[in-house]
Amino acid sequence: MPIFPISGILRNNYGNEIILRPKKIAKHYIKTWFFIDLLSSIPFDYIFLLVQESDEGKLAQTGRAFKALRLIKLLSLLRLLRLSRLVRYLHQWERILSVASMVMRIFKLVGLIILLAHWNGCLQFLVPMLQSFPAQSWIALNKLENATWTEQYSLALFKALSHMLCIGYGRYAPQTYTDMWLTILSMVTGAMCYAVTIGLVSALIQSYDPSRRMYNQKYKLVREYMAWRKFPRELRNRITDYYEHRYQGKMFDEDEILNEISEKLKFDIINHNCRSLISSAPLFAQADQNFISDLLTKLNFEVYQPGDMICREGTIGTKMYFIQEGKINVLKTNNEIITTLGDGSFFGEICLLTRETRVASCQAVTYCNLYSLSVDHFYNVLDQYPIMRQTMESVATERLSKLGKNPSIIGSKQDLKIDQESLENFEAKDTSTLSKIENRAKNKNFDVEEQASLNNKNDKIPKNNYLFIELKKIT
């Protein structure tokens, strides 16, 4: 037994600080487990052996007195209080080895049953031994007084398990009141173990794979909803395929998980989830790391099935998309395929840059995993990184040329955005600024009706407010 242990101690009150000073360790050990270890480490077995080997004539009375000291040997059971430390070590190894929680709990349950059976078997032999093996005790009936310890332990364990499992009494039924009470204690212990086992198994079943259980519950609700609404079979199959592809048998509240952790961990998780998108997207190849960080934290994951129309020409665009996996056809008005986009591509940025309706339709060819970026987040990110704005504008200009559109509209709409911001801060006395903005607005590609409204405005409305209203309609 080490009098002055050198193992470090852990102080949970100080941020899990480990104390390695020998004096503090020894002081802590003396205050806690030293006396228990001291009492339980006294070699009573050797003392009994010496007594038995002594002269029977002179030390018979002393030997009988020392038999009473067998009870003191029970002090070694105090070390069982340190099982809590063993449990703590098991938890640590569980985390280190990444053992599944359910597997570890099963091992703990089996170990607990074996430990209780061992204790019960030892108790079955200990009590008759303290009584000097009465003639009607189960040990005397089985003639185990002078048997080897393996025979004694085997029959004691068999007797204990027979009681605990309620399958019999062993070789002989209890003959003495002591054996009867030990049998009752064993049966009660076995019944309690059975109840605990049933409870733990039920808890294990409930706690096993909670994400799959959550998915099954959600999927069951969806099926009941489809039956209640009497959806046609084709629509039911599409909804079923969507859930199977989108969640793949598991469901998590990912937003809640990400909101509970630090920003650094959040970025690392998102970066890991989007690693295939980052590696395949040319936009991110030479991009600023801060831009990637800000962009990824604002993306929303979406799934589309083959044939789904992701966006339609002429509709108002509220977000752009990044393709993580899948293929998408870009279509003209007559459903002519202009091009096919694959992993790492992005689309939908033109309407956000021009503040107009979408110039083409996009249809999923295969199952597509996309990340969408809303218009508000789009401008927040690009305003902070003008170089990336220029990159997207150059891509949008090239795509507008392929569609037969005027690519200069991107620059024109950017000027209108600047004019609108100037009008919001305009003062009535600054007539030169108003005139300059008005001339620039007239040179834009306004409709004839809008130009007429601008030239023949109502004099009752202040000139700058009217111009702002007209520009706001367009932008």
Give 28-63 pLDDT, tens digit per residue: 778 776 776 676 666 666 666 665 555 454 444 554
Rounded to an integer, what is the distance from CA 436 to the centroid of its chain? Answer: 58
Residue with the bigger pLDDT between 215 and 95: it is 215
Which residue do the tokens 């979408």 mark? 358
Q: Quick check: 449 pLDDT over 70?
A: no
Domain 273-407 has CATH 2.60.120.10: yes
Q: Where are the domains of the chain?
A: 210-247, 273-407, 411-474
DSSP 81: G
Distance CA 8, CA 224 (A): 58
Residue 322's pLDDT is 92
Distance CA 368, CA 326 (A): 4
For the chain, the average pLDDT equals 75
| 105: CB partners within 8 A, 6+ apart | 200, 204
Burial class (CB in 10 A: 0-12, 13-18, 19+), 233: exposed
Q: Which of 205-209, 335-339, 366-370 has the least mean pLDDT?
A: 205-209
Percent of the chain scoring above 90 in pLDDT: 14
* Tens digits of residue pLDDT in 360-404: 999 999 999 999 989 888 888 888 888 888 888 888 888 777 777
Burial class (CB in 10 A: 0-12, 13-18, 19+), 90: middle
Residue with the bigger pLDDT between 42 and 280: it is 280
**In which band, very low, low, confident or very high, does the pLDDT at 349 lie, cut at 50, 70 and 90?**
confident
Residue 302's pLDDT is 93
Q: Quick check: 303 pLDDT over 90?
A: yes
Residue 363's pLDDT is 95
* Tens digits of residue pLDDT in 311-320: 999 898 889 9
**Long-range pairs for 415-420 at CB < 8 Å and ≥24 separation?**
415/440, 415/444, 416/441, 416/444, 416/471, 416/474, 416/475, 417/355, 417/475, 419/471, 420/468, 420/471, 420/472, 420/475
